Structure 1
Amino acid sequence: MKKSIIMLSFGMMAAAFNSCGKNEKPDVLIEENTTETALTEMPAEMATANPQDEMLKKAQSHPLTNLVLSENHFDFKEVKKGESVEHIYEVTNTGENPLIISEVKPGCGCTAPNFTKTPILPGQKGQITLKFDSASFDGPQNKQAEVYANVENAPIILSFSANVIN
């Protein structure tokens, strides 16, 4: 009798329905054989802390500051299928401590982030760029990215929309 082990996470299952994947650690172990299927929780030592909590801790480990965004949403309007488009969101440090963007986590593999990686001094500006690859999409799209920084209300959500046409 052949026995196989399949590891799934809820994020991976959602990604299968969303056509954009995320690499996440499994939190459920399914043992499958030809006569029965058992669903068991993974031992605590195998489970990892929530990655979002870890990113938040890292971001807020520095003295907190304040920021102002040029905008939190951008509309690309119509984008031809297969075209890659990008938008730059401007970030201004309005606090008294250096602003440190520790991570920008897109909600989808179709979005590539880039951001100012050096501390942004008070009164200075930085950038967060989101690049969208429309190759796998048709019609109206709404995407977002989480920005982890040393601000009180992290993560900050940036979003964009596009209508992908042929």
Structure 2
Amino acid sequence: MKKLILGLGALCLIAFTSCKDNAAKKVDEKNVAVAAERDANSSKFPILQFEETEHDFGEIEARKPVETVFNYKNVGDAPLVITDIKSSCGCTVPKDWSREPLAPGESGKFTVRYNGSGANKITKTITVTANTEKGKEVVKIMAFVKPDPNTTNTTGH
């Protein structure tokens, strides 16, 4: 048993020693430079800057749809890619945003439509998923929905 353990130990020692020498010879300086450049670029992010992060529709009629446009700009150092825009509720629908990369300094926009459901003060959040450092940015819409005189349903949808 001792001979077996001693033999395996010697075999491992030889294997590890020979691999170390070969690994050092396989390092290519060109690959090191490419990796360094990649690492430097990976710390550059697009920055999504909105003209406004909250929009208040004010007082609106119940069940009367309203829309607003959120304008934004990429003020970062890398192309901005918006992969998704979702709202906190089905009554609010974001639409019309570009899925194409937005170069640094360029601007874009998307529309948010609210269907006017609910009653009294409402606040809905819209989450923008993008390749920014945080990964998600949030904008909000607000309104005061006047009660519909034709119904007694006052759900806060």
Corresponding residue for residue 147 of structure 1: 128
Corresponding residue for residue 133 of structure 1: 115
Structure-1 separation of matches of 2:48 and 2:87: 20
For residue 116 of structure 1, report the CA deviation from its aligned partner: 2.2
Query: What code does the residue aligned with 1:163 have?
Result: F
Query: What code does the residue aligned with 1:124 have?
Result: E
The equivalent position to 1:83 in structure 2, one of 61, 64, 67, is: 64
Q: Which runs of 5+ in 1 are unaligned?
A: 1-60
Corresponding residue for residue 24 of structure 2: none
Q: Which runs of 5+ in 2 are unaligned?
A: 1-41, 149-157
SS at the partner of 2:109?
strand
Query: What code does the residue aligned with 1:130 have?
Result: V
The equivalent position to 2:54 in structure 1, one of 73, 76, 81, is: 73
Query: What code does the residue aligned with 1:118 have?
Result: E
Structure-2 separation of matches of 1:132 and 1:88: 12
Corresponding residue for residue 74 of structure 2: 93
Query: What code does the residue aligned with 1:161 have?
Result: M
The equivalent position to 2:100 in structure 1, one of 118, 124, 136, is: 118
SS at the partner of 2:103?
coil
For residue 150 of structure 1, report the CA deviation from its aligned partner: 0.8
Task: Please state which structure has a larger fraction of its residues in strand.
Answer: 1
Listed one character per residue, the Cα deviations across residues 60-97 of structure 1 (whole Å, up to 9, x for unaligned) are x9x73112110111100011111111111111011122
The structure having more radius of gyration, on CA atoms, is: 2
**TM-score normalised by length of structure 2:** 0.62
Structure-1 separation of matches of 2:111 and 2:125: 12
**Does structure 1 residue 109 correspond to structure 2 residue 90?**
yes
Structure-2 separation of matches of 1:117 and 1:84: 26
Percent identity between matched residues is 31
